[in-house]
Structure 1
Amino acid sequence: MLTTRPFEKLMKYLLLVLPGLASVAAHAQTIPTDSTRALPGVLITYQAKKLTPVTFQNLKGSFLKALSVGQEPSFLLTELTPGVTAYSDAGSTQGYAYFRLRGIDQTRINTTLDGVPLNEPEDQGAYFSNYPDLFNSLSSVQIQRGVGTTQNGVASYGGSIQLFSSSLLDSARTTLGGGYGSFGSYRVYGECASGLQGRAALYVRASQLHSDGYKDHSANTSRSVYLSSGLFYDKTSWKLSVLAGQQRNQLAWLGVPDSVLRQNRRANANGRENDNFQQALVQLQNQWQPTPTAEVTTSVYATGLQGGYDFDLNTFLGLPATTELYRYNFRSGGLGGFSSYTRRSRRFTWTSGLHVSTYQRHHIGSEQTAGELYRNTGYKREGSLFSKLESRLGQFTAFADLQGRATTFRYAGSVALQPLTWRFLNPKAGLSFAATDRTTLYYSLGRTGREPTRNDLFGGNDDLLADTDGQALVSNTRAEYVTDHEVGVRRQMPGLQLELNAYYMAFQNEIVLNGNLGPNGLALTDNVARSYRSGLEAVLNWQPTRQLAFRTNAALNRSRIREQAESFQPILTPGLLFNQEAVFQRGRWLVGATGHYQSRSYLNFANSAAISGYALLNARVQYTWRGWQLTVFGNNLTNTRYFNNGYVEADGTQKYFVPAPANFYVNVKFQL
């Protein structure tokens, strides 16, 4: 059973501390006001604001919904924000998909929903596929590139993605939608929002999705439900949210040799392997405003996951298939909570908070004939405290953010392993200058540390191995660190938005992908003593007329790894990424075209194998009439044959993941 002792300690702490914080706030100097405003909803205090000197980008939920047809969010992020690359196992946009930011994989990118960590604590990946159609229920997304501001959960090593759920205070609506496209892909969904009825509000969405996948035997069938309800008073508000998802996949996580792809681009190197996972998240939020300038935000949450996937060892080794078939099964659960106190005045905003969590995950390995082979359990506990201050003096805004974070991993299995503990002190500071009301210049410096994942520790094995003396074979226990410099300018004018930034990230003991896959299907890593990533990023949104708009984002990246006398580029880190969208809207019609370019990137440390650069053209046509909206999407209209991911086997064989050729999707929705 999952222990609740840390959770109980958190609640006792909150009961003791929050009244004290309220008392301090009540006696503090405040801004004169006639009355306390009614709270608009539960707020999260980890976002960057206009003058915060970090690199960030905000995306509106309504804009995301217009582009979302149930595809994995990785592909939306690729088009909408600089420096993101993505690929999928199945070649289509549903099922398992993965993204990288500035060449850094998603286990090193903090992801939260209303402040709740979505990264799985043991291996630190955030799996959107377990919550399909989630982007259909968001009010906004904030993407911070680089160290950024303090977040809950795993380290914001390469960046953070903050998701914010649909506002309960939007107007009442009921929406029904459905779509169908290439490779047997479809989605049906319905959502209903009550709007504020007295002091209460309710929102619910349910979705069903399916795709046969582009690759052979790579189908995905998934469904999800999101429910949120709230109570709103003058000084306090409550919000209860439940998110649950289920997915079934025919697996396609192995790359395919080019020699095979020349004969059949839809070839799947996996055999008859399948998976089945269910995951759920429950969160209770409270926002309390004891005074006009003080605010206390508190959340408690619980997560659970169960399921497993097949593993054909012979297929993995490139041998003929037999009746032998292994199975990895998992069951996990977690409890956590976080609370923050914010004090605002005319010149400063000060926020302090804490986050604690406990998590355990059972691993069971079996073979369909031999039965159970092993079982083990990993336990992960984490606690963090932070305090940050934004102080305004004339045109300058100074920012300081300090986080202390400690995490412990404990293992129970057939091989003894002493508990492992990592402690981090993560400082961040910066300065912004409001040159005009529309132009802000900024510089920030931050440092953060990150512990290795379970997969890093165990060298890609699901069950910890032992040496000839019975001692645990642990690959790496050392933490990695990054020092991040960010400098940029933001300019906002009617019809024009410009964001331009440069960065330099210096790494110590960086854990980087080496281009190989382990026996559990997860990517393997190596440590490098010294490395850096640097680059330029730009976002330009220009609307010269009411009907015409251009959206551009681009990223230049120069990254190097130095090992002894060798210097080489990290894998899967293209030097240039460019996205250009043009949208024309008149009356009921909207026509948009998007071009995407990605330059060459390497697949191995030797920089001897690479995937070539490529360009894509996507388009959409939309017609709106009364409550109806019909949209036709066309992707890869030039039918480009390209690869966007791959790896090199020990014998030098290059294997690739193949994206889909030209494909189409028709989406219809009706709002009552």
Structure 2
Amino acid sequence: MKKLMLGMLMIISQQLAMAQYKLSGVVKEKNNNEIAVSGATVEVAGNGTTQTDSEGRFSILLRQKGNYLVRISTVAFKQFEETIAVTEKETKLTATLEAQPLFLKPVEVSAIRAGDRMPFAKTNLNKKEIEKMNLGQDLPFILNQTPSVVINSDAGNGIGYTGIRIRGTDATRINMTLNGIPYNDAESQGLFFVNLPDFSSSVNSIQIQRGVGTSSNGAGAFGATLNLSTNDFNEKPYAELNNGFGTFSSLRHTIKAGSGLIGKHFTIDGRVSLIKSDGFIDRGSSNLRSAYLSAAYINEKTSLRLNAFTGKEKTYQSWNGIPEAKLRGDEAKLLEHYYNNYYLYDTREDSINLFRQDNNRTYNYFLYNNQTDNYRQDHYQLLLNHEVNKSWNINAALFATRGLGYYEEYKRNESLDDYGLAAVESDIIRQLWLDNWFYGSTFSAQYKRNNDQLTFGGAFTRYDGKHYGKIIWSEEPVTKDYKWYDLTAYKTDFNFYTKYQRRINSRWEAFADVQYRNVNHVIKGFRKNPSLQSGGNFNFVNPKIGISYADGNGWLGFASFSIGNKEPNRDDFEAGVNQQPKHETLYDFELNIEQRKEMYNWSVTGYYMHYNNQLVLTGKVNDVGAYNRINVPKSYRAGVELQAGVKPASWFNFAGNLTLSDNRILNFTEYVDDYDNGGQKENSFNSPALSFSPSAVAGFTLNFIPVKNGEISLLNKYVSRQYLDNTGNKARSIDPFFVSDLRLNYAIRFKGVKEINLTFQLSNLFNRIYETNGYSFSYIYAAQTVTENYYYPMAGRNFMAGINIKL
């Protein structure tokens, strides 16, 4: 191994010593050479891509001299395309981009996204980067290499139900918008990416903000924000066919097409997708379908766009996880704590024998052939952008989201008196339904003149939801499709924000932002407590201030302070009048310094996030018999995010990030059910670690370009120990893991075809055994404390291959 490493270092040093050619330059606006274009994508055909910095500068290394096709693109400008002759060691290019007169930069993006010099920690992904990583897996897997991100998958291979945490913040605290329209579920506040199958194929840019971030629409950002934009403008007609297949009978078919500009004013873009997979977990299958249609009218001052997209999913339930005894092959614990499989076998012995025979890491408790989740979500967006004059832009949008679906499950030996029927036991098949509408409007206006920029905007949304359950089959006679509960809920959300940016001089810029938000949630009963009516009315003021620095020589930095407030979710309200939850408050301090140079870049971001009344699980049973989250007075997350990138040669580059953090509750009380004596036992802890908040998260990618148009990428991820609850008990935790993926990309270009991209990804290259998610509960029985851990394992070595044909 030592000789091999020495040999590799020798080869690399020899390659680095070889002559290198460099294309560098600056990108500016055509009609105003004083204005640099930052964030533009610079592509040198066959040699990779880079982005312009805050001063519009870029640099890319080339293997040899010759003629190179250079494309430069960004929103609101026509694409620059020119063949450049590279004959010297360094060739310089000054490119000017012409503003697209028939397209206005989407104001919803400018209104809620953080610009390059705004004082917030952020990561931007452009269309090229998204395409390279998109093999049909859910959005979290595309974001996996970004800072402070930890992802998980119920089925173990990234298709179906997936999740994401950023800085330890779960999905219910991550604000997500689609073209400025709120996406989070109004009641649970969660993110269900499974309802957006292959949506990444229609996305042209993503911004991830870490911390409170800038004001946005929808659920309050309480640790992170995801902004996705699909409103791309395509001047010329195009068509794409994207097919993929892989392990676990996974397949993906996507067709995209666009009309280009019709009659100087109209465009139409569409997509249809099908994704299927059997999943790594037994019966953890997914059948996902989606469609996207966008039509726009555009003139010199105005654009009007209608987006309609839908997602339909049918996934076999794998959300119970695997008992630790099964996962570890612990025969003694298996016999001590009997896990009964209710669906096929009536005797203890048969159930245990089946439990022993099933594969340890792919075991699924459910056996009923239609134990599935079925849901469809339809989105309608109407967006208007208008340029009043050179200083003012305005934006308004109307939207409606329709959700309808259920999950079906087999329940054995249910007591029918729990369903309002006779007090007898019966096997049943039931469906739990959601039927809801989420609708409203957003608006914003921007004023920009000289050194001042003012933005104000807001949103009004309304959620109307129905929750009901049906028994569709029963061993004992029951009326067909009998409903045992039928409940309603509604939620209104109004917010208004004002942002002001002031360029003090060429280096310093100040920022101030304040948002007012009113939330009213009315819940008319819960499934297990149908007569309990609950909810609350909340008024929040969320201010942010900051200052940023950029010297024009690659040095940048910022400091900011933000306050965020967040209402409880639906489940939190399932409590008596004297145990209603309080809202949560977050105080977020951010400090950053970074340097961007032609050959390298690095940044350091420190953060301190202090919570008042954070809602966490404690195991406590409230006065209506529910295990809900309760407010803990003080908790915090403190950490540092390190990022770096190096481009030492035309054939090699490196990018990585590392987050080190300390995440704690200052005083925590655990409640454990006592089956011996009744009631609950209390255990106190002094400053335990917050659950699912690893102290170290790292991602780094090695990119090799061995041939023109070809790239080999080694993607690596490390996540330290995660605790399943808030006790800091190692016996209730997820082991640290380090996993690597290998991705191969090759592009073919010839006459009649724009491009054929071949992609092959081998995930979990070294076949690591690891888990990314889980849960835990404890109880006292026979004078012993028994802890039950459940885990969600990830697949071993597996692959996905794809071919994308662009016409």
TM-score normalised by structure 1 residue count: 0.88
| Contact kept in structure 1, 2:267 and 2:296, CA below 8 Å | yes
| Contact kept in structure 2, 1:616 and 1:637, CA below 8 Å | yes
Please give the residue correspondences for 1:61-210 in structure 2 after superposition, counting only pairs within 5 Å: 61-79=127-145, 81-169=146-234, 171-197=236-262, 198-210=264-276
Letter paired with 1:629: N
Mark the CA change 1:514 to 1:69 in structure 2 (over 3 Å): closer, same or farther: farther
1:438 matched to 2:554? The reply is yes
Distance 1:426 1:88 in 2: 33
1:604 matched to 2:710? The reply is no
1:276 matched to 2:341? The reply is no
Question: What's 2:515 paired with?
Answer: 403
Letter paired with 1:310: E
Deviation at 1:545?
A: 2.2
> Residue 428 of structure 2 aligns to a residue in which SS?
coil
Mark the CA change 1:590 to 1:393 in structure 2 (over 3 Å): closer, same or farther: same
Letter paired with 1:391: R
| Contact kept in structure 2, 1:42 and 1:238, CA below 8 Å | no
> Residue 377 of structure 1 aligns to a residue in which SS?
strand
Deviation at 1:313?
A: 5.2
> Residue 141 of structure 2 aligns to a residue in which SS?
helix
Letter paired with 1:281: H
Identical counterparts, % of pairs: 28
Which of 295, 300, 305 is the equivalent residue of 2:393? 295
Stretch of structure 1 that moved more, 367-376 or 196-205: 367-376
> Residue 650 of structure 1 aligns to a residue in which SS?
strand
Deviation at 1:500?
A: 2.1
Distance 2:383 2:201 in 1: 21
Letter paired with 1:373: W
1:429 matched to 2:545? The reply is yes
Mark the CA change 1:621 to 1:516 in structure 2 (over 3 Å): closer, same or farther: farther
Deviation at 1:112?
A: 0.3
Mark the CA change 1:516 to 1:200 in structure 2 (over 3 Å): closer, same or farther: farther
> Alpha-carbon deviations, 1:141-170, whole Å to 9, x = none?
000000110000000111100001151235
| Contact kept in structure 1, 2:107 and 2:444, CA below 8 Å | no
Question: What's 2:802 paired with?
Answer: 667
Deviation at 1:92?
A: 1.4
| Contact kept in structure 2, 1:139 and 1:166, CA below 8 Å | yes
> Residue 249 of structure 1 aligns to a residue in which SS?
strand
Letter paired with 2:802: N
Distance 1:412 1:102 in 2: 35
Deviation at 1:474?
A: 7.8
Stretch of structure 1 that moved more, 508-517 or 233-242: 508-517
Distance 2:164 2:634 in 1: 24
1:260 matched to 2:371? The reply is no
Question: What's 1:336 paired with?
Answer: 440
1:573 matched to 2:693? The reply is yes
Question: What's 2:714 paired with?
Answer: 593
Question: What's 1:13 paired with?
Answer: none
1:324 matched to 2:452? The reply is no
Unaligned runs of 5+ residues in structure 2 are 1-98, 330-359, 416-424, 669-684, 750-754, 780-786
| Contact kept in structure 2, 1:257 and 1:655, CA below 8 Å | yes
| Contact kept in structure 2, 1:246 and 1:277, CA below 8 Å | yes
1:501 matched to 2:605? The reply is yes
| Contact kept in structure 1, 2:269 and 2:293, CA below 8 Å | yes
Mark the CA change 1:60 to 1:328 in structure 2 (over 3 Å): closer, same or farther: same
Distance 2:466 2:186 in 1: 13
Distance 2:326 2:512 in 1: 54
Stretch of structure 1 that moved more, 68-77 or 539-548: 539-548
Distance 1:376 1:282 in 2: 26
Letter paired with 2:717: H
Question: What's 1:375 paired with?
Answer: 486
Letter paired with 2:504: L
Deviation at 1:669?
A: 1.3
1:244 matched to 2:310? The reply is yes
TM-score normalised by structure 2 residue count: 0.74
Deviation at 1:483?
A: 0.3
Question: What's 1:17 paired with?
Answer: none
1:614 matched to 2:737? The reply is yes
| Contact kept in structure 2, 1:41 and 1:232, CA below 8 Å | no
Deviation at 1:73?
A: 1.0
> Residue 644 of structure 1 aligns to a residue in which SS?
strand
Question: What's 1:640 paired with?
Answer: 768
| Contact kept in structure 2, 1:592 and 1:619, CA below 8 Å | yes
Mark the CA change 1:37 to 1:437 in structure 2 (over 3 Å): closer, same or farther: farther
Distance 2:265 2:600 in 1: 39
- Equivalenced residue count is 619
Distance 1:180 1:523 in 2: 42
| Contact kept in structure 2, 1:69 and 1:667, CA below 8 Å | yes
Which of 267, 290, 308 is the equivalent residue of 2:406? 308
Distance 2:463 2:212 in 1: 25
Distance 1:49 1:534 in 2: 25
Deviation at 1:199?
A: 1.2
> Residue 323 of structure 1 aligns to a residue in which SS?
strand
| Contact kept in structure 1, 2:582 and 2:631, CA below 8 Å | no
Distance 2:621 2:277 in 1: 25
> Residue 380 of structure 2 aligns to a residue in which SS?
strand
1:542 matched to 2:646? The reply is yes
Distance 1:315 1:245 in 2: 35
> Residue 78 of structure 1 aligns to a residue in which SS?
coil
> Residue 214 of structure 1 aligns to a residue in which SS?
coil
Question: What's 1:43 paired with?
Answer: 107
Letter paired with 1:486: E
Distance 1:479 1:311 in 2: 34
Distance 1:331 1:374 in 2: 13
Mark the CA change 1:517 to 1:43 in structure 2 (over 3 Å): closer, same or farther: farther
Letter paired with 1:386: Y
Distance 2:565 2:697 in 1: 27
1:557 matched to 2:639? The reply is no
Mark the CA change 1:513 to 1:191 in structure 2 (over 3 Å): closer, same or farther: farther
Whichever of the two has the greater Rg, that structure is: 2
Mark the CA change 1:398 to 1:123 in structure 2 (over 3 Å): closer, same or farther: same
Question: What's 1:213 paired with?
Answer: 279
Greater RCO (CA < 8 Å, at least 6 residues apart): 1
Letter paired with 1:595: N
Question: What's 2:342 paired with?
Answer: none
| Contact kept in structure 2, 1:603 and 1:648, CA below 8 Å | yes
Letter paired with 1:507: Y
Distance 2:773 2:620 in 1: 12
Distance 2:143 2:454 in 1: 31
Stretch of structure 1 that moved more, 188-197 or 379-388: 188-197
Unaligned runs of 5+ residues in structure 1 are 1-34, 460-471
Question: What's 1:489 paired with?
Answer: 593
Letter paired with 1:567: S
Distance 1:333 1:533 in 2: 36
Question: What's 1:7 paired with?
Answer: none
Question: What's 1:31 paired with?
Answer: none
Which of 619, 625, 628 is the equivalent residue of 2:748? 625
1:456 matched to 2:572? The reply is yes
Question: What's 2:788 paired with?
Answer: 653
> Alpha-carbon deviations, 1:34-85, whole Å to 9, x = none?
x996543433211111111111111112211111111011122122x11111
Mark the CA change 1:36 to 1:214 in structure 2 (over 3 Å): closer, same or farther: closer
Mark the CA change 1:614 to 1:524 in structure 2 (over 3 Å): closer, same or farther: farther
| Contact kept in structure 2, 1:57 and 1:143, CA below 8 Å | yes
Mark the CA change 1:316 to 1:212 in structure 2 (over 3 Å): closer, same or farther: farther
Distance 2:404 2:712 in 1: 43
